[in-house]
Homo-oligomer: A and B are copies of this chain.
Amino acid sequence: MAEIFRLSRPEDALEALLSSLAPGPLDRELLSAAESLGRVCAEDLHSPQALPSFVRSTMDGYAVRAADTYGASEGLPAYLHLAGEVPMGSDSGLRFKKGECALVHTGGMIPEGADAVVMVEQTQKSRNDEIEVLRSVAEGENSVQIGEDVAEGSLIFPAGQRLRPQDIGGLTALGITRLSLAARPRVAILSTGDEVLPPETSLVPGKVRDINSYTLSALVEEAGGVPDRRGIIADNHERILSAAQTALQESDILVISAGSSVSVRDLTAKVIDALGSPGVLVHGVSIKPGKPTILAVCDGKPVIGLPGNPVSAFVAARLFLLPVLRKLLGLREYPAKTAERTVRARLGRKIASSAGRADFVPVKLVYTDRGLPTAEPVFGKSNLIFTLIHADGLVSIPVDANGLHGDDEVEVQLFS
């Protein structure tokens, strides 16, 4: 039952895994702009045209030649001939001569020869075909120029950008209705353990229902992958190996959630080593919870062995599985800090830790009227899933620290 763990520091462990993987995206697919919310651009996208494509009014008023209004005031208005009205959505066909103007609505196209708009509130109708301008306007005033939003040919989205609601509007504005997006990596999830039952079964003394297949699936879904739950396999080398081989063939990433006893951990490591080369890169990470995590690359595909305790599995999946998913999506970390959403808080009470190990403690955020929220630690053993359910995020204590004091300012890594 002896066990030798050469524990890796978490950042070294992650680096060992990521540096063994080719950069994403793994594959591309062509989808419509309307389907691309939350998806990641597979290549740089440039603007096919200038936006706007014509000079537009930003006000209800009169299109004018700015020079015709110079010096105009309430006492000495400029008198302009009303040449017509610009209908919304069309080129009026008007060509301005000196001293002419035309009625234009917000968003309307400014006629050729005009170069500014006077707001209707700064005019007065003197006759049917004449208006008085009560204020001078500068060239370009109250209008948007061609290309003021985007210049033709400019980079609008770099490869690796995840698309948000406004980004989709940018695509449709430019007529980009189909685009090349990173394929969603397929993540196979295998649960192992003689004690694990599917959730729909009645309880049997000594057995527990599967948690990890479901929390891991949901984490993958949220992060833009396609989870594939491959069921529960008993603790038997041949059966796990065979299930893992098939799962790995049919997916881009394999995650095996195994029990936390030493024999089962050894079993998982042996199975992973048999899946392909180079095999296990990291066996054991100096984190709590999550120490028995295994990181591997088997014939080019990442394989992650997670501890069976649900809190350990969740914490280790956030630390290692999500960055792998991001790399295989080709996701650009922009802005750097918000890839993982954080909020600063004041720690509600002291947390002890051992140097040489990074601790991750679930915390609940308590907001008050002013100042930073309080991060209240939710203490509990790493097999208690409800410690995570009662929490809003995690506080980490670095490897080299001996704990945190109550009232320390901390950065909380928020859950979704």
User: Footprint of B on A, CB under 8 Å?
Assistant: 1, 33-34, 37-38, 49, 51-54, 56, 58, 60, 86-92, 105-109, 120, 144, 148-150, 156, 164-177, 193-196, 199-219, 221-222, 229, 235, 259-264, 308-310, 314, 335-338, 341-344, 364-367, 373, 380-381, 383-386, 388-389, 392, 414-416
Contact in complex: B214, A168 (CB < 8 Å): yes
Kindly list chain B residues whose C-beta atoms are within 8 Å of the C-beta of A381. Answer: 58, 144, 148
Kindly list chain B residues whose C-beta atoms are within 8 Å of the C-beta of A206. Answer: 54, 86-92, 108-109
Kindly list chain B residues whose C-beta atoms are within 8 Å of the C-beta of A344. Answer: 344
Contact in complex: A367, B169 (CB < 8 Å): no
Kindly list chain B residues whose C-beta atoms are within 8 Å of the C-beta of A219. Answer: 165
CA distance A314 to B169 in the complex (A): 10
CB distance from A111 to the nearest CB of B (A): 10
CB contact between A175 and one of B149, B199, B309, B337 (< 8 Å): that residue? B199
Can you show 15 pairs from A to B with CB atoms below 8 A apart?
Answer: A53-B203, A58-B381, A88-B264, A89-B193, A92-B206, A107-B208, A107-B260, A108-B261, A165-B314, A169-B212, A169-B388, A172-B214, A173-B199, A335-B367, A338-B392
Kindly list chain B residues whose C-beta atoms are within 8 Å of the C-beta of A384. Answer: 144, 148-149
CB distance from A321 to the nearest CB of B (A): 12
Interface residues of chain A: helix, strand, loop or mixed (majority):
loop
CB contact between A199 and one of B91, B172, B194, B235 (< 8 Å): that residue? B172
Kindly list chain B residues whose C-beta atoms are within 8 Å of the C-beta of A109. Answer: 205-206
Nearest-neighbor residue (CB-CB) of A148 within chain B: B384
CA distance A33 to B105 in the complex (A): 52
CA distance A207 to B53 in the complex (A): 9
CB distance from A13 to the nearest CB of B (A): 22
Task: Given A219-B165, A367-B336, A383-B107, decide whether A194 and B89 contact each other with a Cβ distance below 8 A.
Answer: yes
* Besides A144-B384, A172-B199, 19 new A-B residue pairs in contact (Cβ under 8 A), listed by A number: A52-B208, A53-B203, A88-B261, A90-B194, A91-B206, A109-B206, A149-B385, A156-B386, A165-B218, A166-B385, A169-B212, A169-B314, A170-B211, A170-B385, A173-B209, A335-B366, A335-B367, A337-B367, A338-B343
Nearest-neighbor residue (CB-CB) of A3 within chain B: B60
CA distance A162 to B56 in the complex (A): 43
Contact in complex: B221, A37 (CB < 8 Å): yes
CB distance from A257 to the nearest CB of B (A): 11
Kindly list chain B residues whose C-beta atoms are within 8 Å of the C-beta of A60. Answer: 1, 261-262
CB distance from A367 to the nearest CB of B (A): 5
Pairs A-B, 7 closest by C-beta atoms: A89-B195, A165-B218, A172-B199, A169-B215, A105-B261, A166-B388, A89-B194
Nearest-neighbor residue (CB-CB) of A263 within chain B: B105
Q: Which of A91, A205, A308 has the most CB of B within 10 A?
A: A205
